[in-house]
Structure 1
Amino acid sequence: MAPKLDPIESAKRNAAYRAVEDHFNSSMRFVGIGSGSSIVYGVEAIKAHLDKNPAPPNHMNWFVPTGWNSRKVIEKAGLIPIAFDSLPGDSMMEVCFDGADEVDEELNCIKGGGACLFQEKLVAARSKKFVCIADYRKNQKRLLTSWPSIPIEVAPIAHASVLKELAVIGSPDAKLREHSLEKTGPIQTDQSFYIIDAPFPKLLSAFDVKNGADGSGKDNQWDVTTLAERIKKINGVLEVGLFHGMNGDQAQAAGLQGGQKPVAVYFGLENGEVLKRDYKEIEDLGK
């Protein structure tokens, strides 16, 4: 008999099973698998689905990990991983499942707490849709409400200059992420880059800007997109842990490949239920 999960882990598991039920089927060829604790349950749900509903004859299900850890989760479940750079050039993932550190009411996300943000963004933007699995703690009206900082992946040689420029644009307390054992030095990503965690004040949404708020950075008040684009311009920055802009459906409607934002987020709640929020609901709010 499996051990009973604590309320947070149970919430993640419930969200994962609901997300997979709504967005996965056995005929899919390529599926993205993100990093983090919620995705363990996503892979568990996919395996359970395939056990009950095997793939069609002569069909292979391939799973694209966003890092070393997610590859191991895929392999442990008996599923078949394929590296992102081994995907056929004209192929898209039908869906990717991933978690988030925080999600705002417009479905913008902070990601990178697990130091895989660059590959997570690559996979999201190569997927027809990104579906986010989270627990109730991640559901906030604005980003940087409960999660303290924005993860930024940087070239090791440039980390000091990036820290200096982050201070200029409003994050003087940004810090290089290091291992808990100090002598082992900075944490390195799968690209052998460093992670900087940059605190900023709570971020404005597009709704705030539409209603007259100034998110340009004046008085250190930024909206999500403006700040993400400003940080990305800093020399030495590979990627920013703000997932914003279009989602996959919107990108494809515009003739583009894919988007960074999720089409839907599934929040597992404390009472055992699952709250689903999708972008169509957000579009209705903005009208």
Structure 2
Amino acid sequence: MSQLPGIEGAKQLAAYTAVDKHILPHHKIIGIGSGSTVPYVVERIMQQGTELNKGRTFIPTGFQSKELIIEARLNLGDVDQYLTIDVTIDGADEVDAQLNCIKGGGACHLREKVLAEAAKSFIIVADYRKNGKYLGENFAHGVPIEVVPFAYAKVLQNLRSVLGSPNASLRMAKAKAGPVVTDNANFVIDAPFSRDLIKDPSSLLTKIKLLTGVVEVGLFCNIAQAAYFGNQDGSVTIKRVEGAKVIEESIAAS
């Protein structure tokens, strides 16, 4: 493989390695996630060949991944047609030592979580900047929370005054006047939490999810089976679930 330089090379390396190890010939229903690493996932899948891919169906998590599937001339499906997915590969904004993730920087985390939970195997691909010990260390924007529009103000109030995120804010669009609107016609709140509050992401997820008006939370807990991180030196760090533990290993640069 001719590796790209810098961060893009790290993303490509993680994506290629994960596809080689987890998108196998017998896999027929494949979930394609969102984010800047995912185009390299589709690129590597295409390199597996037309004959193999013509018998597969690919399920997108949002507009970006749908367009990637269409542009690659792969068979497009929907999760309401295929309730069980062989494997889903997706990016992440941050991953902790136990493979809990923050996702939703691209406002696709509702559909991403549906495809993650529908998959027999859920695999994360990212560059080294997303590899952390605790959530919130590197991704400072906060936990993405999809909310129904008419409830966003009350959810914001509860996040700030009850759950301990005083800087929670409605995500605003950059190229239009007004808030970001998800593929599901909802709004997104970004809620930063202190280390003490986010150190148990499963508990925090439950508390946020119980707020009326919340559709989904960008905390992915106890879902991923493995995460692949491309590094600056051309190596790949792999974190994978083995029994009740998360094992970390490294593949040296080739």
- What TM-score, normalized by structure 1, do the two folds share? 0.81
Q: Say whether residues 1:55 and 2:17 are aligned partners.
A: no
Q: What do the CA deviations read for 1:64-85 (whole angstroms, capped 9, x no partner)?
A: 0000111001111121111222
Q: 1:25 to 1:46 in 2, by over 3 A?
A: same
Q: Say whether residues 1:75 and 2:70 are aligned partners.
A: yes
> Is the Cα contact below 8 Å between 1:99 and 1:132 reproduced in 2?
yes
Q: What stretches of structure 1 of length at least 5 have no aligned partner? A: 204-219, 246-260
Larger relative strand fraction? 2
Q: 1:284 to 1:130 in 2, by over 3 A?
A: closer
1:221, distance to aligned residue in structure 2 (A): 6.3
Moved more, 273-282 or 136-145: 273-282
Secondary structure in structure 1 of the residue aligned to 2:156: helix
* Distance in 1 of aligned mates of 2:25 and 2:172: 41
What does residue 244 of structure 1 align with? 221
Q: 1:262 aligns with which of 204, 210, 224?
A: 224
Q: What do the CA deviations read for 1:31-88 (whole angstroms, capped 9, x no partner)?
A: 000001101100101110124xx329xx62000000011100111112111122222x
What does residue 209 of structure 2 align with? 232
* Distance in 1 of aligned mates of 2:216 and 2:167: 19
> Is the Cα contact below 8 Å between 2:97 and 2:246 reproduced in 1?
no
Secondary structure in structure 2 of the residue aligned to 1:36: coil
- What TM-score, normalized by structure 2, do the two folds share? 0.91
Q: What stretches of structure 2 of length at least 5 have no aligned partner? A: 248-254
* Distance in 2 of aligned mates of 1:50 and 1:237: 42
What does residue 4 of structure 2 align with? 5
Q: Say whether residues 1:152 and 2:145 are aligned partners.
A: yes
Q: 1:221 to 1:179 in 2, by over 3 A?
A: closer
% identical equivalent positions = 43
* Distance in 1 of aligned mates of 2:36 and 2:152: 28
What does residue 274 of structure 1 align with? 236
* Distance in 2 of aligned mates of 1:147 and 1:185: 23
Larger relative helix fraction? 1
1:282, distance to aligned residue in structure 2 (A): 6.4
Give the partner amino acid of 1:82: G
* Distance in 2 of aligned mates of 1:169 and 1:122: 25
> Is the Cα contact below 8 Å between 1:32 and 1:96 reproduced in 2?
yes
What does residue 164 of structure 1 align with? 157
Secondary structure in structure 2 of the residue aligned to 1:84: coil
RMSD: 1.8
User: Based on CA coordinates, which of the two structures has the bigger radius of gyration?
Assistant: 1
